[in-house]
Structures are given as C-alpha cells and as structure tokens.
C-alpha cells in the first residue's frame, strides 16, 4: 500500500504548527496505524529528519495513551483506539490527515502529543475511595446488586484517552468525568465521598477550561470503550442530589 500522509508538525507549545506531507510505501494491510507511523519515523530517521512525536504505550487498547485525529475523526474511522486501528481500514493511494487532539484544555506539547494532565487533576479531585484496603475481603462481604455492579463496570471501562473531548464541538469532558463519577458513586465502597466526589470533580473540570455539554453526542460516538451518552445524565442527577445535600 502506498499512502500520502499529511501530518501535524509542531516544534513545541510556543511555536505555531503546520501540516507536513510525507509519502510511505510498502504498508501492509495487517499493520496497525501506529506501526505505519513507526515505518514513517524509521524513514525520517534514516534521512536525518526529526521523527514525528506521538503518544503510545500498551498498544493493546487498554492504557488510553494513543490519541490521534485521523481524517477528522478521533481515533480514525473505526470505533476503537488508534493502536487497534489497522491499515486494512484504508486503501492504496489514500491521503490520510493526522492531527493531535484539538481542545484548549489539551495543549499541544509537540507534533501529535498533547498534555492531558487536566484529566489527572479531575481524577485527583475525587476519583478515589477512602475505604481501607488490606487483605482481600471475603466474597460477598459487601453485597452489590447485579445491576449496580454492571453499571459500575460499564463506566469503569473508560481508559481516559480523551477522544470524547477531541470529538466534542465544545471540547467538553462531561463523558469522561461522568464515567469516573458514576463507577464509584454507584458502589457502597464509594458512598462516603458520594457528594463531594461529584461536586469537586465537576468543579475541577470547569476550572480546567473544558467546554459545556450541549448533548451533541459526538463523545459517545467516538468513545472506543462505548461509554454511553446517558452517563452524563446520570452524573447531572448525582450533582443535583449532592448540591441539595451539601451546602458550600
């Protein structure tokens, strides 16, 4: 497969970026998208040029590090992570545009790498429980109804990649924050911080400069883990309940 790549190149956060065009040849349909970029970088290194910086870690769809806007879509044309996208989704002769996540709360560090530490600070604001750890408790020591366990697992699947923010026309982080709030708030282990968690995480989200939600739904469409749009409604319900209960 021979491809034309139009890649966002940006030296650092203070320097304006621009698209640069590269040709790559000999790309197998079985390569992952990141392996295709590895091929490009090997060629750039051999030519004495600076390789393209991009984020990756597990390359198994579990860490959330990979983060590319491909032909205008967060993670590209398939509903998966960039590392799990394969070149069989493209055709010989295609031109592919590759850009970083675009959101003011995710400033570009270099080329295709953005700073997602704003997500870490939202987690720090309340994405934890204070239940003591120690040896594993007996099974069923803390009964959790099956629907609650399923709800928690569904939301705990969020890998924090940021595709929801990149896809949203408002740059909103409501889907990410709701996944983190909901998976703890529904469980008995998360009950002691149930109110402060949602109030603090939403406040932190706003302070980080993420936009508001207008229910465009692009976030849930782009999410590689299928976090559903009603997750946002569930978080809003939690927030209203907490705001009535906790006077600040």
For ligand FES, the closer CB: 53 or 62: 62
Closest distance to ligand FES from the beta carbon of 239 (Å):
29
Alpha carbon distance 133, 129 (integer Å):
10
For ligand FES, the closer CB: 56 or 155: 56
For ligand FES, the closer CB: 37 or 234: 37
For ligand FES, the closer CB: 82 or 178: 82
Q: Answer for the pair 138, 148: CB distance below 8 angstroms, yes or no.
A: no
Closest distance to ligand FES from the beta carbon of 74 (Å):
12
For ligand FES, the closer CB: 62 or 123: 62
Q: Answer for the pair 200, 182: CB distance below 8 angstroms, yes or no.
A: no
Q: How many helices (H) and strands (E) does the chain have?
A: 8, 7
Q: Answer for the pair 204, 122: CB distance below 8 angstroms, yes or no.
A: yes
Closest distance to ligand FES from the beta carbon of 83 (Å):
3
Alpha carbon distance 98, 19 (integer Å):
9
Closest distance to ligand FES from the beta carbon of 67 (Å):
8
Give Cβ neighbours of residue 223 (< 8 Å, ≥ 6 apart).
79, 158, 163, 164, 175
25-to-20, 36, 37 alpha-carbon distances in Å: 17, 10, 12
Closest distance to ligand FES from the beta carbon of 75 (Å):
9
For ligand FES, the closer CB: 76 or 126: 76
Question: Considering Cα of 39, then 40, then 42, then 43, what sign does the dihedral take?
Answer: positive
Closest distance to ligand FES from the beta carbon of 63 (Å):
3
Residues that bind ligand FES (CB under 6 A): 56-59, 61-66, 81-83
Residue 39, judged by CB atoms within 10 A of its CB (0-12, 13-18, 19+), counts as middle
């Amino acid at each position: 497969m021979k491809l034309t790549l139009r890649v966002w190149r940006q030296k650092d956060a203070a320097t304006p970026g621009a698209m640069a065009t590269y040709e790559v040849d000999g790309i197998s349909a079985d390569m992952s998208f990141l392996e295709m970029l590895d091929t490009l970088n090997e060629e750039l290194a051999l030519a004495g040029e600076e390789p393209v910086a991009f984020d990756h870690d597990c390359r198994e769809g579990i860490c959330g590090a990979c983060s590319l806007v491909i032909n205008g879509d967060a993670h590209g044309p398939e509903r998966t992570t960039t590392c799990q996208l394969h070149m069989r989704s493209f055709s010989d002769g295609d031109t592919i545009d590759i850009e970083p996540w675009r959101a003011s709360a995710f400033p570009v560090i270099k080329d295709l790498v953005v700073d997602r530490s704003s997500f870490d600070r939202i987690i720090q604001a309340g994405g934890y429980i204070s239940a003591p750890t120690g040896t594993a408790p007996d099974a069923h020591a803390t009964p959790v109804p099956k629907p609650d366990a399923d709800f928690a697992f569904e939301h705990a699947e969020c890998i924090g990649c940021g595709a929801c923010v990149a896809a949203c026309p408002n740059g909103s982080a409501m889907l990410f924050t709701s996944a983190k709030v909901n998976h703890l708030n529904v469980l008995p282990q998360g009950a002691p911080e149930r109110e402060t968690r949602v109030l603090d995480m939403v406040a932190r989200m706003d302070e980080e400069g993420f936009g508001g939600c207008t229910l465009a739904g692009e976030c849930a469409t782009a999410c590689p883990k299928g976090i559903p749009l009603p997750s946002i409604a569930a978080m809003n319900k939690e927030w209203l309940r907490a705001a009535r209960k906790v006077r600040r």
